[in-house]
Amino acid sequence: MQTKPILTLDDVKKIAAAAEAEAKANNWAVVIAIVDDGGHLMWLQRLDGVAPVSAHIAPAKAATAALGKRESKIYEDLINNGRYSFLSAPLIEGMLEGGVPIFVDGHCVGAVGVSGVKSQEDAQIAKAGIAALGL
């Protein structure tokens, strides 16, 4: 039987605080979502001024990154390059840049999804949050 690391609530709070700091440093209104390795929501934070739809998009991006064990941008790129069949992939709805998986010792333990600004800025915020874990 193998063992693997898991995200704790303390880990999630560190990620969320660092992601929020990155967003606020750039005056970006976003939603920050953090999920476990099964795509289950552990944290949702909606900063003032963000569009309400972002509260649906951020968790979808995070779940896509966690379940696929890769950045959600990969799916966006596949679709933009003609792989339209990926639109029918089950349980994967957030196929837009801004979902970033969290890896610990080679294990995907969850992901961060951000929505509210340009996609590359969403990803920047997610990565800043993950960096707070010092992995």
| Model pLDDT for residues 62-101, shown as the tens digit of each residue | 999 999 999 999 999 999 999 999 888 888 899 999 999 9
Contacts of 29 (CB under 8 A, 6+ apart): 23, 47, 48, 49, 50, 116, 117
pTM, two decimal places: 0.96
Instruction: List average pLDDT for each run of 10 residues in the chain, which is 135 residues long.
Output: 94 98 98 98 98 98 97 95 90 93 97 98 98 95
With a pLDDT cut of 70, the percent of the chain lying above it is 100
Sheet bearing 99-104, strands edge to edge = 41-46, 31-36, 107-115, 99-104
Q: Which residues contact 73 (CB under 8 A, 6 or more apart)?
A: 96, 97, 98, 99, 119, 123
Give the domain ranges of the chain: 9-131
Fold of 9-131: Beta-Lactamase (3.30.450)
